[in-house]
């Protein structure tokens, strides 16, 4: 093909510094670009290399791209889609053969949009093999998909591209980036349920995703749908409160709406539906609620636990509860799995201790019921050295495979921190058990103080409106009634 040969010669001359630009030569090579973009040998690489050179030789003028650039990209897109080689024709993105204004300007061009209409008009082949054969496929597809929603590319194609990127990713960073691409596709297409399920599954592999509010908000969108279920979403909420990692992530989020949602939904399950799944969380978070809404927090606690005239001042009990929750967060952080330079045996030992010792210990400490007597003995008898040396996994290991030396000392030191934290938490829990009053007293949830607190919260975070409407409808109704009465009084004056 004459156009291909001309572009190859041009690139060689540029590399040797022998090309002499002229208007006639630039025009000839521009037309060659447009023609060569129609075949795989061109759009695979050559066209973009030559195109970038020509942008430089032509002074990077907008006139050159208008005359030749858009047509070249359009031909490459149409050809690669027709040939079934997508994404091989996306080299214009990674090589920088773009107009002034970048990819966004390019994608708005009618010629490019017409070329991409092939997605809807013909059956396009999306093959993982093509992605593996395409240099920097992850980068170019990520950039394209950021504009795909406005280009009306079908969702099925979006998902096929994202799936291929996941298949070809080899490094952990690449896999996380491909996962984010999939999540972004689902976000832009408002696929709430699928987005939440994919995000939740991915969080276990890539913990950084817990901090992505754009994905976490899918939970709220999902729950708004669940509210309309026959049981008002009680079954879904019960599942949520059994997902300890998700609960922890929500509790650590600084937004008030997350804290109040978990606290109120757990309270609602316990008080209104007599379900136990959310009781512990509701009890713990009622103290967090009290930090911004003391009257509401106090009332919620009274439904979850009895009251009598306490021998210990209420302020002291609340301080101890805050200290206990702080220590429990410290303990939870200490219980995280550590890599220890990727030593498999170390990970197995940790998992054994976590499953058989620490998780039961943590759940019992956090439980609303009375602590069993053996728990005091168990925590008191914990020994950092024994947690490693007497661990069945360590004892079964032979000779040089055992954990020894500096690694052993590091693990024992980490276990010592866990033991110390568990003992501090036990001590605080014992004091709370001794100080917490008993008896039943359930005050009204519609006192003026609570109504003022809830109204202020709704103004601070709009998401709290539907949360209160779901779990404390009587409070919201009372606030609305007060506003109506105030409006009537205003008219009467």
Between CA 193 and CA 202 the distance in angstroms is 14
Q: Is the pLDDT of residue 111 over 60?
A: yes
pLDDT at 436: 61
Greater pLDDT, 346 or 316:
346
Residue 225 CB partners (closer than 8 Å, separation 6+) = 192, 193
Give the predicted TM-score (pTM) of the model.
0.55
Cα distances (angstroms) measured from residue 467 to each of 263, 448, 487: 11, 20, 25
Place of tokens 């006139």: 63
pLDDT at 364: 85
Region of 233 on the Ramachandran plot (φ > 0 left; ψ -120 to 50 alpha; else beta): left
Q: Which residues of 443-482 are buried (b: 16+ CB within 10 A; e: fewer)?
A: eebbeeebbebbbebbeeeebbebbbebbbeebbebbeee
Between CA 473 and CA 228 the distance in angstroms is 15
Place of tokens 């001359």: 13
Query: pLDDT digit string (tens) for 209-255?
Result: 888 888 888 888 888 888 888 788 888 899 889 888 888 888 888 88
Region of 274 on the Ramachandran plot (φ > 0 left; ψ -120 to 50 alpha; else beta): left
Query: Taking a C-beta distance cutoff of 8 angstroms, is the pair 225, 470 a contact?
Result: no
Between CA 290 and CA 314 the distance in angstroms is 13
> Could you tell me the residue ranges of all domains in the chain?
334-435, 448-492
For 362, the token pair is: 């943590």
Query: pLDDT digit string (tens) for 3-51?
Result: 899 889 989 988 888 888 888 898 999 999 999 999 999 999 999 999 9
Q: What is the DSSP letter of 372?
A: P
| 440 — pLDDT class (breaks 50, 70, 90) | very low
Q: Is the pLDDT of residue 423 over 90?
A: yes
Query: Taking a C-beta distance cutoff of 8 angstroms, is the pair 72, 37 a contact?
Result: yes
């Amino acid at each position: 093909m004459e156009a291909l040969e001309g572009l190859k010669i041009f690139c060689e001359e540029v590399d040797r510094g022998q090309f002499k630009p002229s208007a006639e030569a630039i025009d000839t090579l521009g037309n060659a670009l447009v023609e060569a973009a129609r075949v795989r040998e061109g759009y695979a690489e050559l066209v973009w290399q030559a195109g970038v050179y020509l942008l430089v030789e032509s002074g990077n003028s907008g006139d050159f791209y208008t005359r030749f650039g858009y047509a070249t990209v359009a031909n490459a897109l149409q050809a690669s889609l027709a040939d079934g080689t997508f994404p091989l024709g996306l080299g214009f993105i990674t090589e920088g053969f773009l107009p002034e204004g970048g990819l966004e300007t390019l994608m708005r061009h009618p010629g490019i949009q017409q070329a991409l209409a092939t997605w809807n008009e013909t059956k396009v082949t999306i093959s993982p093999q093509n992605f593996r054969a395409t240099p920097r496929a992850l980068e170019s597809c990520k950039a394209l998909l950021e504009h795909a929603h406005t280009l009306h590319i079908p969702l099925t194609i979006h998902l096929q591209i994202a799936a291929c990127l996941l298949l070809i990713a080899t490094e952990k960073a690449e896999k996380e980036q491909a996962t984010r691409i999939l999540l972004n596709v689902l976000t832009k297409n408002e696929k709430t349920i699928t987005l939440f399920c994919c995000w939740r599954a991915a969080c276990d592999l890539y913990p950084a995703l817990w901090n992505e509010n754009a994905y976490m908000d899918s939970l709220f969108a999902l729950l708004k749908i669940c509210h309309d279920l026959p049981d008002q979403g009680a079954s879904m909420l019960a599942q949520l409160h059994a997902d300890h990692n998700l609960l922890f992530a929500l509790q650590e989020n600084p937004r008030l709406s997350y804290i109040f949602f978990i606290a109120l939904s757990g309270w609602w399950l316990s008080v209104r539906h007599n379900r136990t799944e959310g009781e512990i969380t509701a009890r713990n978070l009622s103290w967090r609620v009290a930090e911004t809404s003391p009257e509401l927090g106090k009332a919620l606690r009274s439904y979850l636990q009895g009251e009598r005239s306490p021998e210990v001042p209420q302020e002291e009990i609340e301080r101890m509860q805050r200290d206990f929750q702080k220590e429990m967060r410290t303990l939870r952080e200490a219980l995280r799995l550590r890599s220890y330079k990727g030593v498999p045996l170390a990970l197995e030992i940790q998992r054994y201790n976590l499953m058989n010792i620490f998780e039961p210990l943590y759940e019992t400490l956090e439980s609303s019921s009375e602590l069993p007597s053996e728990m005091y003995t168990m925590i008191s008898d914990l020994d950092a050295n024994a947690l490693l040396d007497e661990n069945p996994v360590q004892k079964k290991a032979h000779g040089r495979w055992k954990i020894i030396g500096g690694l052993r000392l590091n693990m024992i030191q980490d276990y010592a921190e866990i033991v110390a934290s568990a003992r501090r938490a036990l001590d605080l829990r014992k004091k709370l058990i001794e100080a917490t009053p008993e008896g039943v007293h359930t005050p009204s949830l519609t006192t003026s103080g609570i109504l003022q607190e809830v109204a202020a919260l709704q103004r601070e975070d709009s998401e709290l409106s539907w949360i209160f409407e779901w779990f404390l409808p009587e409070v919201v109704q009372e606030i609305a009634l007060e506003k109506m009465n105030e409006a009537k009084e205003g008219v009467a004056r």
